[in-house]
Structures are given as structure tokens and as C-alpha cells.
Chain A
């Protein structure tokens, strides 16, 4: 079974600085997708960034980028120029690529709570 591990329960960053959130996963499959979701206090689950395992190039979305190391099964999120609005829980998630009629659900880590200091 696939598992996702986020080893940092809490992180803190100064406004305008850069922070990296760690995520490792375990799978025997070669094709899959990885996601980072943001959950602010409002409780919404907001997609931040996604990565296809078959792509070597790391995904980037404005101030958010990932460091995807497939061999190491590592998928870290880097937030540059941190803003107060980035404060939230961040969840790393895994999804199989080929699931046909089966689950296709996301498998989540336990999350990292990010605080941004002004």
C-alpha cells in the first residue's frame, strides 16, 4: 500500500523569506501523481501544485515550486517570498496514475502547519 509521510508537524518562516516543506512517499508503482494542497483556517482544500511522476522537470506555480526526486521518493515544496496569506496547513498527497474503475483517491500525509511571521 502507498503511504505519504510529512516529517515536519510545524514550520515557521519570516515574511519574504523562503521555506521548504518535506514529503516522502512509498510506492511500488512507476506512474503516479503528486500534489500539494493548502488548508487555511477556513478549512478549504486548495490545490497548490501537482507533479506527474513521468516528468523529470520540477513543477512551478508562481512562488511555489517542488523538488521531485523520484528515486529517493521525495517531493518537497518550496515557497519563495513567503506572505502572511501562506500561513496554513499543507498536505502532500499521492494518487495512482492508472486506476481504471478502482479508487483513484488521494492518499494524504498528516500535514505541516506553516506559520508566517511578520
Chain B
């Protein structure tokens, strides 16, 4: 049982480049999330999805886009990378019941230079 899988684990981008962070879960969770973690801070929500075909913005969505074509996959796209997007990105998934924990991927460390 793989849980939540994120790729890549590390990436360096140049300013203005674009990339997609991949996230896949095999637990049949309907809810999926993208968070970013800046140094010395907790995680902040970028985007979330309550099911295939349904996505919505979180607290810090600017500069990002998402899609959810299947239950399993929830990719995060950076269109024009900026230094402010240097961070660690976590994908998470859960069932819709609030007492069920969110399962996290191992994170992607992204540096924009």
C-alpha cells in the first residue's frame, strides 16, 4: 500500500519556467489537498479537491493551478516560477469525515533561482 506518492522529491527551477508536481493516492480518498511549507512556518493550503472534476482555491492559490481528472491524481502546476514559490510542497488526501486523518506524501522541495 503506497499511500500518497509525490514526484519529484527535489527540483530546481529558473525564474519563469513552468513545471508540474505530481501526486497520486491509492486509498480511494475523495478529498485531496496541496499545501506549502515555508521555513519556520506551518503548512498553508494552496488548492483542494473534494472529488474528481471538482477543485477550489485555498489560502495561497496565486501562481498555481490544479486539475483532478481521476480520484487518484491531483497534479499541481506552476506556470511562471517565481522566487516566492521556493518552498516544500505537500500533497495530502483523506476521506470526507473530519476525524479521519489526512495522509501526507513525503513532500517536494522546490527551489526557484
Contacts and interface: CB of A to CB of B under 8 A. Distances in A.
Contact of A109 (B42, B56, B90, B104): B42
Interface residues of B, number: 27
Given A43-B88, A45-B90, A110-B41, A105 B98 contact: no
Nearest to B101: A47
Interface in A17-46: 32-33, 35, 42-45
Among A91, A103, A105, A110, the one with the most B-chain Cβ atoms within 10 Å of its Cβ is: A105
Nearest to A105: B45
A70 B101 CA distance: 20
Interface string B86-113: 0010101010101101101011010000
Contact of B40 (A35, A42, A110): A110
A35 B101 contact: yes
A88 interface: no
Given A43-B88, A44-B106, A45-B104, A95 B98 contact: yes
Interface string B11-53: 0000000000000000000010101000011111100101000
Contact of B48 (A50, A91, A104, A109): A104
A33 B98 contact: yes
B58 interface: yes
Interface of B: 31, 33, 35, 40-45, 48, 50, 54, 56, 58, 88, 90, 92, 94, 96, 98-99, 101-102, 104, 106-107, 109
Interface of A: 4, 9, 32-33, 35, 42-45, 47, 50, 52, 91, 93, 95-99, 101-106, 108-111
